[in-house]
Amino acid sequence: MSKPHTVESLFDALWVDYQNQCPSATAIHALLSGGEAIVNDHVAFRTFNLPEVGLDKLAAHFLALGYEPKGEYRFEQKKLAARHFEHPNPTAPKVFISELQVQECSPELQDIVKAMVAQVPAGATETPDFLYSGAPWKVSKAQYDALLKESEYAAWLAAFGYRANHFTVDVNALNGFETLESVNQALKDAGFELNSSGGEIKGSAEVLLEQSSTLADKVAVTFTDERVVIPSCFYEFALRYPKADGHLYTGFVAASADKIFESTDAR
Ligand code: NI
């Protein structure tokens, strides 16, 4: 039995795993922090909406730590549904969990995904370690390619499984950066590539949230029959604006999140 997590120890464990998939996050963290601590705006997870591994299975670990369900989001074209969670302690990262609506996908995709999920050991999702355990299934390169044709999201999940898809820097809490433009410029000056789908900055002051992200790093993944280098995880940056009541907006903007998903697209 592993020791029960606190909010802090869970995010520490997620961060350790995430940096292995996104080595540039370590360098960016150092670049932006100026030696100070960096506050995480949110951490995102992906899953399939099958009962064995659905959003609720992942969310249960955060609810157990005091998180509360907040906004719900739909991404029709990508066939995704999502929900975000907040902790009463406002410095705890928000959690954004999405799930692919498998029943809306082709029979071919459904067959592959169901065969993957059938490999998840009984009870595996019950332990919080599941949140950073990687892919609990074996897939072939051909299956990955078949998923990729229909859903970049499904292909990413097949390859990388359960772990932070991205961490997000709280730009409001950064010393030395007033705007998201200045963060983006510092990243580009240091040689990092940004996701430009929908523009480098998604959202605006009008919708109370601006977001940008790097393009995912690439790492080697071992499929059952082949080892390939593919896009893994990315780093996101969020600047929030105050609502009419003076408190910062804490929700998400579906049109922006839709483009952020594309940070892991094959290229
Ligand atoms: Ni995000």
3-state secondary structure 96-109: EEEEECHHHCCHHH
Q: What is the mean pLDDT of residues 89-110?
A: 97
Q: Which position has the token pair 């999405």? A: 98
Query: How far apart are the CA of 168 and the centre of ligand 1, in A?
Result: 6
Query: Ligand 1 centroid to 62 CA: how many Å?
Result: 17
Model confidence at 2, in pLDDT bands (50, 70, 90)? low
- Alpha carbons 4 and 87: distance in angstroms, whole number: 18
pLDDT of residue 24: 97
Instruction: State the pLDDT confidence band at 266, using cuts at 50, 70 and 90.
Output: confident
C-alpha 163 – ligand 1 centre gap (Å)? 14
Tell me the C-alpha distance between 69 and 83, whole Å. Answer: 7
CA 224 / ligand 1 centre spacing (Å): 30
Residue 61 C-alpha to ligand 1 middle, in angstroms? 19
The structure tokens listed for 86 are: 């907040």
Query: Rounded to whole angstroms, how far apart are CA atoms 97 and 186?
Result: 29
pLDDT at 179: 97
Q: Residue 117 C-alpha to ligand 1 middle, in angstroms?
A: 25
Q: How far is the CA of 231 from the centre of ligand 1 (A)?
A: 16
Specify whether the backbone of 35 is left (phi greater than 0), alpha (psi in -120 to 50) or beta. left
Contact (CB, 8 A) for 63 and 173: no
Give the global pTM.
0.96
How close is the Cα of 257 to the center of ligand 1, in Å? 7
Is pLDDT of 215 > 70? yes
Distance 260 CA to ligand 1 centre (A): 7
Distance 200 CA to ligand 1 centre (A): 14
Three-state secondary structure along the chain?
A: CCCCCCHHHHHHHHHHHHHHHCHHHHHHHHHHHCCCCCCEEEEEEEEECCCCCCHHHHHHHHHCCCCEEEEEEEECCCCEEEEEEECCCCCCCEEEEEEECHHHCCHHHHHHHHHHHCCCCCCHHHCHHHHHCECCCCCCHHHHHHHHHHCHHHHHHHHHCECCCEEEEEHHHCCCCCCHHHHHHHHHHCCCCECCCCCCCEEECCCCEEEEEECCCEEEEECCCCEEEEECCEEEEEEECECCCCCECCCCCHHHHHHHHHHHCCC
Taking residues 235-250, what's their average pLDDT?
97
| Beta-carbon count within 10 A of 70 CB | 15
How far does residue 225's CA lie from ligand 1's centre (Å)?
Answer: 32
Q: How far is the CA of 128 from the centre of ligand 1 (A)?
A: 21
* Two tokens, residue 110: 């459904």
pLDDT of residue 35: 84
Q: What's the rounded mean pLDDT across residues 250-267?
A: 94
